[in-house]
């Protein structure tokens, strides 16, 4: 079992982090440049957007961790460095600046950018901020790093857990950003995870690639798959456990702790969806297979109509049935049961594909809470899946109607 | 060539229509029950939602026109008659009421319902309204029928054209409703088309099935594929042209006139999208094949982020590139060029996948108009496609946050 601890990405042994205001964003004070470093070279793995339009930093990061190792993450907010003619050059320059400032080889740096697409990223403010970024590096720096990668996020997203592998205490920490353009096909906006577990790069990649199928791939704010989605993990081995080089109990223990970190960050991202007032958590059970369960869960939390209904605390369950019906999953509509729940209780709204009587007053009370469960039983098998989303609100429109100008 | 004429679904020879307030909706005056009848039995064809959750009327309509003929359409708004245990029974009762009132066989009636899902549809108000509906039937009734099928629509959607086949003047008329839950997979919400062309049922179905690929399948308001999408056409042959029984010049002339009607209705539906202030018309050219062109065009007009940017008249073209990239179409991003246009002019915003300098002031002026063109050149071939959507606004959220209660 794991327990939740303080420290974010600096909780694992041998990691430091920092975040500073470099002036990339117009805002005069918000931190917009973050750095995470490991004392030693770490096994590294990553998953990236499946959008054909990819941010330039993704190409550089893929190249830099192709050998399975990395030692630092640099990330700016305010500009995505995407669809720019000189994007690769700028991303490589960011890695070189890390090498100059802290002595970690440019080819061991994970680089990421988030913000507006299609505006050239000026390297000057980043270059000028490197001394401050270096001197801010500390074991307490996770908070600042989490802030430095935020764009329209309202809440910092940070978590760490400790657990045991072979009698050794190990830790995993993570920070994330993501609020709009969230509909990952492979990974969500930006997530950086650190761990002091000793694990071979191939196993680290396997653990991450399997994890995201049930974590970051199961959230959606607006069905817009970003060009810059990146989840990277560094494992520096400083916990002193016996190196994980094959599947087995140690690998499973690591995966379980990793899932605790990633699912926490998923819920945090969905809850902080642009303009969101509510976290929607859809639990599908009784599906004929895992993929059907995932497809149904994700379709429901993606429905604009249902999301708007949740904003209005309106138990308009027909929109849930509608979203199940067009999801593409093979479902027997006549077996579908749906209930809606929150801390205020649970109400059955649909049984075997048809409506049941329920108290609208009670439904309003249940749906006026901040975290809503949508429980769907398909009655078709044993598979289940969860997905996370948020309501669709006036503020989503406001934020995205004038984000750039 | 066709010309636009008055009269909607009553423009073709031998059609009458009516719309009355039956009291299905809470609103005390809005018409909510419509009837269209042909003087003689007509060839009939239909296309329907691909949602697994289908409105009960769809099953009844499919059965009734399975022989290729129909003579009347009855349609209510205010209740979708979907996810109700007695749905089929009620839909069949509606057809029987038409037989009782106007003497057209129940098995020749096309039935449709639109409105809230999952609330039993009371037959009583419909039964009570039949005498009024019958006596309202007239050659001037298209307007009333168009009003009777509206739900959250703000504008009536009605069109008619005349054209020639073999020296005979022919006519096609259509009415449509659709504002939310618009993302047809096979057809949009409700569209009823009449024509006095003489055409065999199989050819009529072929013409309709081909037409929707580039008309109703290319619009989206909110990516929610309704449970009740239906497009039906009746062709009563009263124009006196030689019966169309095979492909050829006459069939082509009919298809061209049909497209004039359907594309007009598509633009009208998109423009009247729930909460919309702007029609978005995406023109894709230079695609390697037709399906790629359609996929790209539809992905762009579906992007919530892009739709919100258009509401804000913000030329945030990166969101267009992003939507092209995740569309699933095989596109060379480095060849993509994008311009935005309206009656106020056209501005190039992206060339070969990277941004170009443009006047933000001019862009704001162009994008502040009511009809916006998004022109995308893929540079990859000769295929092209158009798609229609609308902006995402505060009012979409408002309309859908409290639609039911």
Write out the DSSP string of B173-217: EEEEE-SSS---SSS-SEEEEEE---B-HHHHHHHHHHHHHTTGG
| A chain contacts of residue B118, beta-carbon cutoff 8 Å | 317-318, 321, 350, 354-355
What is residue A86's three-state secondary structure? Answer: coil
Which part of chain A is CATH 3.60.70.12? 3-271
Given this model, what pLDDT does residue B71 score?
Answer: 96
Q: Which of B89, B325, B378 to mutate to test the interface with A (most CBs of A within 10 A)?
A: B325
pLDDT of B88 over the 80 cut = yes
pLDDT of B227 over the 50 cut = yes
Options B61, B114, B151, B188, the catalytic residue: B188
Asked if A151 and A144 count as a contact pair (C-beta separation under 8 A), the reply is: no
Mean pLDDT of B260-268: 90
Mean pLDDT of B88-93: 97
Question: Could you say which of A83, A321, A405 has the minimum Cβ distance to residue B321?
Answer: A83
* Cβ within 8 Å, pair B322-A119: no
Asked if B159 and B181 count as a contact pair (C-beta separation under 8 A), the reply is: no
Question: Could you say which of A353, A396, A398 has the minimum Cβ distance to residue B83?
Answer: A353
Given this model, what pLDDT does residue A224 score?
Answer: 65
| B chain contacts of residue A394, beta-carbon cutoff 8 Å | 394, 397-398
| Cβ neighbours of B288 (radius 10 Å) | 17
| Model-wide pTM > 0.95 | no
Q: How far apart are CA A267 and CA A280, in angstroms?
A: 9
Q: How far apart are CA A27 and CA A8, in angstroms?
A: 25
Query: Model confidence over A200-253: pLDDT tens digits?
Result: 999 999 999 998 888 888 887 666 667 777 889 999 999 999 999 999 999 999
Mean pLDDT of B24-49: 90
Measure Cα distances from A240 to A2, A13, B21 in Å: 17, 10, 77
Pairing of strands B157-165, A383-390: unpaired
Query: Model confidence over A337-348: pLDDT tens digits?
Result: 999 999 999 999
Question: Could you say which of B326, B353, B402 has the minimum Cβ distance to residue A83?
Answer: B353
Given this model, what pLDDT does residue A187 score?
Answer: 36
Question: Could you say which of A227, A316, A398 has the minimum Cβ distance to residue B322?
Answer: A227
Given this model, what pLDDT does residue B28 score?
Answer: 78
Given this model, what pLDDT does residue A404 score?
Answer: 52
Question: Could you say which of B83, B311, B364 has the minimum Cβ distance to residue A354?
Answer: B83
Query: Model confidence over B4-19: pLDDT tens digits?
Result: 999 999 999 999 999 9
Calculate how close chain A gets to B348, using CA atoms only, in Å. 13
Asked if A165 and A244 count as a contact pair (C-beta separation under 8 A), the reply is: yes
Query: Model confidence over A264-317: pLDDT tens digits?
Result: 998 888 888 878 899 999 999 999 999 999 999 999 998 888 998 999 999 989
Q: How far apart are CA B112 and CA A48, in angstroms?
A: 45
What percent of chain B shows pLDDT beyond 90? 69
B114 a catalytic residue: no
Q: Which CATH class is domain B279-401?
A: alpha beta
Mean pLDDT of B135-143: 97
| B chain contacts of residue A402, beta-carbon cutoff 8 Å | 312, 314
* Cβ within 8 Å, pair A394-B397: yes
Given this model, what pLDDT does residue B188 score?
Answer: 44
Q: Per mean pLDDT, which range of A58-62, A90-94, A212-216 is the poorest?
A: A212-216
Q: How far apart are CA B120 and CA B21, in angstroms?
A: 19
Query: Model confidence over B171-188: pLDDT tens digits?
Result: 999 998 887 655 544 334
Residue, of B117 and B187, whose pLDDT is higher: B117
Q: Measured in whole angstroms, how far is the alpha carbon of residue B122 from the centre of its chain?
A: 27
A237: number of CA atoms within 13 Å, CB side?
17
Query: Model confidence over B295-341: pLDDT tens digits?
Result: 999 999 988 889 989 999 999 898 899 899 989 899 998 999 999 99
Quote the Cα angle for B127-B128-B130, to 5°.
Answer: 65
Given this model, what pLDDT does residue A180 score?
Answer: 62
Residue found under tokens 């007509």: B42
* Cβ within 8 Å, pair B223-A85: no
* Cβ within 8 Å, pair B314-A354: no
Which part of chain A is CATH 3.10.20.340? 279-401
* Cβ within 8 Å, pair B223-A304: yes
* Cβ within 8 Å, pair B355-A84: yes
Given this model, what pLDDT does residue A253 score?
Answer: 94
pLDDT confidence tier of residue B44, bands split at 50, 70 and 90: very high
pLDDT confidence tier of residue A395, bands split at 50, 70 and 90: confident
Fold of B3-271: 3.60.70
Query: Model confidence over A148-157: pLDDT tens digits?
Result: 998 878 889 9
* Cβ within 8 Å, pair B325-A402: no
Q: How far apart are CA B247 and CA B249, in angstroms?
A: 7
pLDDT confidence tier of residue B113, bands split at 50, 70 and 90: very high
Q: How far apart are CA B56 and CA B93, in angstroms?
A: 12
| A chain contacts of residue B226, beta-carbon cutoff 8 Å | 322
Pairing of strands B371-377, B33-48: unpaired
Rounded to 10 degrees, the C-alpha dihedral B309/B315/B319/B322 comes to 160
Query: Model confidence over A310-323: pLDDT tens digits?
Result: 999 999 898 899 89
Positions of A marked active-site: 188
B186 → chain A, closest CA residue = A326
């Amino acid at each position: 079992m794991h327990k939740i601890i303080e420290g974010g990405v600096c909780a694992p042994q041998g990691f430091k982090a920092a975040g500073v205001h470099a002036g990339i964003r117009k805002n005069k004070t918000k931190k917009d440049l973050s750095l995470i470093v490991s004392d030693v070279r770490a096994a590294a793995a990553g998953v990236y957007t499946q959008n054909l339009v990819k941010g330039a930093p993704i190409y550089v990061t893929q190249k830099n961790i192709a050998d399975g190792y990395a030692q630092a993450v640099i990330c700016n907010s305010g500009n995505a460095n995407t669809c720019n003619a000189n994007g690769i050059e700028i991303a490589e320059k960011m890695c070189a600046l890390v090498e100059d400032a802290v002595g970690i080889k440019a080819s061991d740096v994970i680089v990421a950018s988030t913000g507006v697409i299609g505006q050239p990223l000026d390297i000057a403010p980043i270059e000028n901020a490197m001394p401050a970024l270096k001197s801010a590096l500390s074991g307490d720096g996770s908070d600042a790093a989490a802030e430095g990668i935020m764009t329209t996020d309202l809440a910092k997203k940070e978590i760490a857990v400790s657990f045991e592998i072979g009698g050794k205490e190990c830790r995993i920490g993570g920070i994330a950003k993501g609020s709009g353009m969230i509909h990952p096909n492979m990974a969500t906006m930006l997530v950086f995870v650190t761990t002091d577990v000793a694990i071979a790069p191939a196993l680290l990649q396997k653990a991450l690639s399997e994890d995201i199928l049930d974590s970051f791939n199961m959230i959606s704010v607006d069905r817009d798959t970003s060009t810059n989605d990146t989840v990277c993990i560094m494992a520096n081995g400083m916990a002193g456990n016996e190196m994980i080089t094959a599947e087995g109990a140690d690998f499973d223990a690591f995966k379980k702790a990793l899932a605790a970190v990633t699912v926490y960050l998923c819920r945090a991202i969905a809850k902080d969806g642009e303009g969101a007032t509510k976290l929607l958590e859809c639990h599908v059970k009784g599906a004929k297979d895992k993929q059907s369960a995932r497809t149904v869960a994700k379709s429901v939390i993606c429905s604009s109509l249902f999301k708007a209904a949740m904003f209005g605390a309106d138990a308009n369950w027909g929109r849930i049935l509608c979203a199940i019906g067009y999801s593409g999953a093979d479902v027997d509509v006549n077996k579908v049961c749906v209930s809606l729940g929150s801390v205020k209780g649970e109400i059955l709204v649909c049984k075997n594909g048809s409506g049941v009587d329920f108290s609208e007053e009670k439904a309003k009370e249940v749906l006026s809470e901040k975290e809503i469960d949508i429980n769907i039983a398909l009655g078709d098998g044993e598979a289940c899946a969860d997905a996370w989303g948020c309501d669709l609100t006036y503020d989503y429109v406001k934020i995205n109607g004038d984000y750039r100008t």
